[in-house]
Amino acid sequence: MVNLRRMALATEAVTPSIPGTLLKNTGAYTTSASGHRTPAWTSSSGRVQVQALSGKEREQLEGLNINSVVRKVYMDGTWTAEQRQSVSGGDSFLFGGFRWDVVQVIEQWADWAAVAVVQVRPEPKV
């Protein structure tokens, strides 16, 4: 079986992958005394390739009313965006000193994905 992601890594010379922490939402959460919910994550280190969105991809996100920095991230594995219908949170990344939330899955294959991420806030100190 041909691994298209491995072939696509030829772009590393132009846009190298960078280290990041990948946060997979478990679906569980803790609730504080004030009622604030904090999602539970599993984390792992990995490499992500960050690129700008194409014009067509930006148009697709227009309806989400995002007023922040948005990027496209390629990485190995499968990831999910926030799903309001099922009230489940999405996955996130920590890289470049910021937390980035997955807002849309652009491409999903058996062993890799491309997702749109939005810059949320400075990376928390762990």
Phi and psi angles of residue 87, each rounded to the nearest 5 degrees, phi first: 50, 45
- Global pTM reads 0.76
Encode the chain (126 residues) as per-residue pLDDT tens digits.
Answer: 555 545 555 566 678 889 989 888 888 889 999 999 888 888 988 889 999 998 888 887 777 777 788 999 998 876 666 655 555 568 889 999 999 998 888 888 888 889 899 998 776 665
Residues 6+ apart with CB under 8 A from 30: 37, 38, 40
Helix ranges (H only) for 2-108 are 4-8, 55-61
Indicate the SS3 state at residue 38.
strand
Q: What is the CATH number of domain 4-26+35-122?
A: 2.40.10
**What pLDDT score was predicted for residue 9?**
54
Give yes or no for a contact between 95 and 50, defined as CB atoms under 8 angstroms apart.
yes
